[in-house]
């Protein structure tokens, strides 16, 4: 069987999805990434469309909250609209038997539905729980866990998403109509795969619920340590002091004020060392003079550094948090937008770290605030103990193998022996 992957073309989505594809490839299945310019060494086919998401990264990198979420939803749906226009020809030209779709590429499944092609959804970012029984990923109110039953009764889940999508669905609605597809646009989960919806979030890191749909599956993180670009990192500068690793991810990383706050907070801790990865939207020199205990780089070998890290300061992107938990590393979480509030809600619920807000880091005396939170996570063993419990659960979950098994079983494919 040949599996076509459609995935948001940024590292936080490509890294786990290419790991899953490699695992399936190792079982002798053919895989190809469609509409991709980079698939970590796996086969890929670029699309004729413009890359709406990457072209907008400089703009969205300095945004936060609802503004960023609404802007990103529009960019993703614009990307989906252009994908749908060429998907039938793309599928035919590449002899695709089934599609594995990034859940965040909203409504790309309309193309599979038109073609009567089996499709499976995979959430490399935090999954959306459309039942309303757990905090929806993008709602900041999720940090204090509201009466979740009331969300369902009032239709809050669908209404909250429709507020963001608004007129951005106009193009995909027109496509569905022209394809003869009858869609309930008031139900954001209507087009989710009826076969399988897989999240790499382990059940041990989620809120408890008995209301998951039958085709929904928690697995565990898709980490295999392969496929990432080599990074020239100054390992010789590590002093052996407790290491604090900080990153605001690869999208929302254009805020100099946040980076300066992180550096200033660490300057107050003489017994700790900071590695700060700022990404490609700012120059480390713009942050200002670095204290002697700080290493500031544009890109860092995150998986390798987390093995030596005591605390991770993070935007609460799912992949960074799962990579931290896989090493038993507690977090100081600073959710900005997208799924990050939902991930932060789970950090708070499982007590694997402390959650603060971006606004508190951009007010007066922010370095003192962040410094205090960091001290608490370093000194209170509760957070590390809980993170290590999640580490054990993640190892036991064996996410990649379970996800690959689910895909094979759902598509009726006989499990094949791996490469020797």
Q: What's the average model confidence in pLDDT over 244-255?
A: 88
The pLDDT assigned to 42 comes to 97
Alpha helices (runs of H) in 228-317, residue ranges in sequence order:
256-267, 302-306
Domains along the chain with CATH numbers: 2-220+398-411 (3.40.50.2000), 235-395 (3.40.50.2000)
Residues in the chain: 420
Does the pLDDT at position 69 exceed 90?
no
Q: What is the mean pLDDT of residues 331-351?
A: 92
Q: How far apart are CA 52 and CA 350, in angstroms?
A: 36
> Residue range 139-152: average pLDDT?
43
Distance, CA of 68 to CA of 104 (rounded, Å): 15
Is pLDDT at 47 greater than 80 in this prediction? yes
Token look-up 């669905």 returns 169
Q: Is the pLDDT of residue 162 over 80?
A: no
Give pLDDT tens digits for 256-302: 899 999 999 999 999 999 999 999 899 999 998 889 999 999 999 99
pTM (predicted TM-score)? 0.92
Residues 197-240 pLDDT 10s:
999 999 999 999 888 999 999 999 999 989 888 899 999 999 99
Instruction: Using a pLDDT cut of 70, give the percent of the chain over it.
Output: 90
pLDDT-derived band at 153, boundaries 50, 70, 90: very low
Task: Sheet with 243-247: list strands edge to edge.
Answer: 294-297, 273-277, 243-247, 309-314, 331-333, 353-355
Task: Name 92's Cβ contacts closer than 8 Å, sequence gap at least 6.
Answer: none
pLDDT at 418: 52
């Amino acid at each position: 069987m040949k599996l076509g992957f459609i995935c948001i073309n940024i590292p936080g989505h490509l890294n786990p999805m290419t790991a899953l594809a490699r695992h399936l490839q190792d079982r002798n299945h053919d895989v190809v990434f469609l509409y991709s310019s980079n698939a970590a060494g796996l086969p890929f086919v670029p699309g004729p469309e413009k890359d709406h998401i990457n072209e907008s990264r400089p703009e969205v990198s300095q945004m936060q909250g609802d503004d960023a979420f609404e802007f990103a939803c529009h960019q993703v749906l614009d990307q989906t609209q252009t994908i749908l226009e060429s998907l039938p020809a793309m599928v035919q030209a590449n002899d695709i038997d089934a599609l594995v779709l990034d859940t965040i590429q909203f409504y790309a499944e309309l193309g599979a539905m038109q073609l009567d092609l089996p499709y499976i959804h995979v959430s490399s970012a935090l999954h959306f729980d459309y039942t309303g029984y757990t905090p929806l990923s993008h709602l900041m109110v999720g940090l204090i866990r509201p009466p979740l039953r009331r969300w369902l009764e009032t239709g809050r889940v669908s209404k909250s998403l429709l507020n963001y999508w608004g007129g951005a669905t106009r193009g995909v609605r027109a496509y569905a109509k022209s394809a003869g597809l009858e869609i309930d646009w008031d139900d954001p989960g209507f087009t989710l795969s009826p076969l399988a919806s897989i999240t790499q979030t382990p059940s041990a890191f989620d809120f408890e619920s008995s209301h998951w749909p039958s085709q929904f599956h928690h697995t565990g993180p898709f980490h295999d340590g392969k496929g990432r670009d080599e990074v020239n990192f100054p390992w010789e500068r590590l002093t052996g002091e407790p290491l604090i690793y900080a990153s605001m991810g690869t999208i929302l990383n254009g805020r100099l004020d946040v980076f300066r706050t992180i550096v200033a907070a660490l300057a107050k801790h003489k017994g700790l060392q900071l590695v700060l990865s700022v990404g490609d939207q700012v120059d480390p020199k713009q942050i200002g003079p670095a204290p002697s205990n700080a290493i500031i780089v544009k890109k860092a070998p995150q998986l390798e550094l987390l093995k030596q890290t005591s605390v991770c300061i993070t935007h609460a992107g799912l992949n960074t948090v799962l990579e931290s938990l896989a090493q038993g590393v507690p977090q100081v979480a600073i959710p900005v937008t997208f799924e990050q509030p939902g991930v932060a809600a789970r950090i708070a619920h499982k007590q694997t770290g402390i959650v603060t807000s971006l606004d508190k880091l951009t007010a007066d005396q922010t370095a003192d605030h962040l410094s205090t939170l960091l001290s608490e996570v370093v000194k209170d063993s509760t957070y590390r103990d809980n993170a290590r419990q999640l580490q054990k659960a993640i190892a036991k979950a064996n996410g990649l193998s379970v996800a690959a098994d689910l895909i094979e079983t759902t598509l009726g494919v006989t499990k094949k022996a791996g490469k020797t």
